Structure 1
């Protein structure tokens, strides 16, 4: 009788994905290194990730430079720029991650990876770690330009701004990985941007305070994680020391990131139909 030899069958079964298998730190690290190497081989993507936030912050600075100050004497640039330091990493990482994972699946790379001893959590955790490191570098550069060249000031430490920016970027990674499972082309992946990101941008308190929104919009704002990232940055901007609200908001954003990664692992497919 023809068929797969017993030893080969055992190897295949040992490589079958077990969604309940815990994360393996070594495999997760190797996955992250592979993703970072792929990024390093694409200088245009690196340039976009690092340069766009700096460019946007610079444009914001000059856009508000001729505007009269706020009643408290503060420039209009300060509250907008502080919030944008968390929003820009979120948007950038969402877009980059969703497209990158879709390419892995459509090229067959994901299918080959999932025949090795790697779990879905290892794979998505590796992506999250790699893009989290990238987001940290992006946030450092954007904050350095904003605080030391554009004159941005906050009552709290820039360290807290960096922490919130990295957590927010990780949320973008988690949502990008989740949304990539429902896209079949890169164009479809980009279409999730106005569906997932733009409503959060409008309702996060950047344009209108959340408590001034109509009732149903305020309710929507309360269930959108970007609202808590912006609120945490507003706390840093207004208070010299970390507040309970800031820590609560960071915890909410981090929890949403973990939920998005878990849902992404549950919906991950080997190949795009």
Structure 2
């Protein structure tokens, strides 16, 4: 019985505040749309690829599991070297010291696919031209410095970052952010309904009144919405008064 009454309460509160719920969800979506359209800064991504060739000894030898594992470890080592301060310091000088090493480390992402000798250097920046410039400068600096560090000249640039003029930003993802805003709006709307339900102290039925207060309801008094009854009774009382005066 309590579950049915609670469900009825929830449905009643939702029906009474349906426009509030729609307004809350619409406000969240509209706010996110305005933020994405006029406040959020679009971020573009540019990529360049570096190929790590196998050394001559490994090419002449049999490609066993140990050789492949050594090549993969070499790729992981190169990925760590790209993000090292030695490379980033050279990139900083190449860019005219417009960014410090910490900013470059946050913009540059180095990754490589599993069982692959290709290293991807991705750079995210609000300006696609600057992103491409940083990516190319990082790849060029690494190919120049790696022979001095590892004494091995087995790194070549596979592809350079280019700017085509029709790039689309990778951040923020507008569709995902709008869906997230709608979901948050639904949560806020249901929280609003739940709070209104907790603050509602009125009784909605006779059974609820008897159950919560432990009283027996003897009768109900209806609420008169039409006052025509009182307007029709008033002239009759005047007529009755005039008749009694005549009799006197």
TM-score, length of structure 2 as denominator length: 0.27
Q: Quick check: which one's strand share is greater?
A: 2
Q: Quick check: which one's helix share is greater?
A: 1
Q: Which has the higher contact order (CA 8 A, sep 6+)?
A: 2
TM-score, length of structure 1 as denominator length: 0.25
Higher radius of gyration, 1 or 2: 2
